[in-house]
């Protein structure tokens, strides 16, 4: 099935691509470029998590554990074992997918609240394992995050690397969401009993989404370790996992552009209110409360409403005329 995008959306995509491609040339300083790279890294994880939370409706609040696994896997393989950073990044993604599979097989059978608790417990277990193995993970001291070789060894080159990866993950999730799997995910979110009644493999669909999110989290962890240049257990606090979850809720479930805007806004928000840094959590809470009360469907729905107002849908209506001669003949026929 092919879908033709309207000209307005194509123009928006082209403008967004040009904006992202030229950002290193108009960014004010290196820190703004670092912030843009951090948004792209977070989006790599959140794009995959969005399939779990936004489309299948599973309350996963422990993806920081998968991010930690990807980051430490990359630091160990590319740093201690001497692997190529590219091979270590792919291995980190595979490791995240395997851990997602092992976590999802038992826990996805649980109802929503208990599944959320299982993912939270997983994140806590990963953090404790990191602390308990200082010979491998550095314990509380941590490990350095290896850099990528040229041409991605500079801040500008690294930005283009993560921006390209974020674009690839966005394209993959968009294709998944608009095809058969995406419809299956939404049906599971809205009514799992009805979805199973019409033949949707509920557990398998949930597992596919969760494993995909594990792969994206592992890859995000690898580039996150390189971006941070040094990782410790304190880097992967539980609040970071809640941050990922809130980005999706604020952006809007069942949307791609909404969570992307939510990720960019919530990542940049602490910098916009830097003089009030101690009140960062307050701003997060106020923004979440406003969105839930004013726009329960998320920020993405606001953009859809504005688009519909600016460009209303054209409804083609064809007049229906009755076939009077045929009706007269039918009435004359004997019963």
Residue with tokens 């491998």: 136
- Confidence (pLDDT) at 1: 45
Assigned token pair, 59: 């309350």
CA distance linking residue 194 with residue 277, whole number of Å:
47
- Confidence (pLDDT) at 275: 62
Tell me the pLDDT of the chain (335 aa) as tens digits.
445 556 666 777 777 788 888 888 887 778 889 899 999 999 999 999 999 998 998 888 889 999 999 999 999 999 889 899 999 999 999 999 999 999 999 999 888 789 999 999 999 999 999 999 988 998 888 899 899 998 898 989 999 999 999 999 999 999 988 888 888 888 888 888 888 888 888 899 999 999 999 999 999 999 999 999 999 999 998 888 888 988 888 888 778 888 888 898 888 877 666 665 566 667 777 777 887 787 777 777 676 666 666 666 666 666 767 777 887 787 777 65
Assigned token pair, 190: 């809205």
Residue with tokens 């980005």: 247
Asked if residue 130 lies in contact with residue 139, where contact means CB atoms within 8 angstroms, the answer is yes
- Confidence (pLDDT) at 40: 94
- What residue ranges in the chain does DSSP mark as E strands? 143-144, 230-231
- Confidence (pLDDT) at 314: 62
CA distance linking residue 129 with residue 208, whole number of Å:
26
CA distance linking residue 322 with residue 98, whole number of Å:
62
Query: Residue 162: which residues within 8 A CB-CB, separation 6 or more?
Result: 37, 40, 41, 44, 223, 227
- Confidence (pLDDT) at 83: 93
SS3 annotation, 63-117: HHHHHHHHHHHHHHHHHHCCCCHHHHHHHHHHHHHHHHHHHHHHHCCCCHHHHHH
pTM value?
Answer: 0.86
């Amino acid at each position: 099935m092919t879908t033709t995008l309207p000209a307005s959306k194509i123009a928006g995509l082209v403008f967004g691509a040009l904006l992202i491609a030229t950002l290193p040339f108009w960014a004010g300083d290196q820190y703004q470029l670092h912030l843009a790279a951090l948004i792209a890294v977070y989006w790599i994880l959140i794009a995959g998590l969005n399939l779990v939370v936004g489309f299948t409706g599973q309350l996963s609040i422990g993806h920081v554990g998968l991010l930690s696994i990807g980051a430490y896997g990359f630091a160990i393989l590319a740093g201690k074992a001497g692997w190529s950073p590219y091979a270590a990044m792919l291995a980190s993604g595979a490791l995240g997918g395997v851990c997602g599979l092992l976590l999802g097989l038992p826990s996805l059978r649980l109802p929503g609240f208990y599944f959320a608790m299982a993912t939270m417990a997983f994140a806590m277990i990963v953090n404790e394992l990191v602390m308990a193995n200082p010979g491998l993970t550095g314990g509380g001291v941590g490990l350095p995050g290896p850099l990528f070789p040229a041409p991605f060894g500079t801040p500008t080159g690294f930005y283009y690397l993560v921006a390209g990866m974020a674009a690839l993950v966005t394209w993959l999730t968009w294709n998944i969401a608009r095809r058969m799997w995406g419809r299956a995910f939404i049906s599971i979110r809205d009514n799992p009993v009805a979805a199973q009644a019409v033949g949707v493999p509920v557990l398998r669909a949930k597992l596919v989404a969760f494993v995909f999110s594990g792969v994206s989290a592992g890859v995000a962890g690898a580039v996150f370790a390189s971006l941070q240049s040094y990782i410790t257990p304190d880097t992967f606090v539980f609040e970071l996992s809640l941050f990922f979850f809130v980005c999706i809720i604020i952006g809007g479930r069942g949307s791609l552009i909404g969570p992307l805007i939510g990720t960019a806004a919530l990542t940049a928000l602490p910098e916009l209110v830097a003089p009030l840094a101690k009140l960062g959590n307050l701003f997060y809470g106020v923004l979440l409360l406003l969105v839930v009360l004013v726009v329960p469907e998320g920020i993405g729905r606001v953009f859809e409403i504005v688009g519909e107002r600016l460009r209303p849908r054209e409804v083609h209506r064809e007049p229906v005329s009755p076939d009077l001669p045929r009706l007269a003949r039918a009435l004359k026929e004997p019963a």
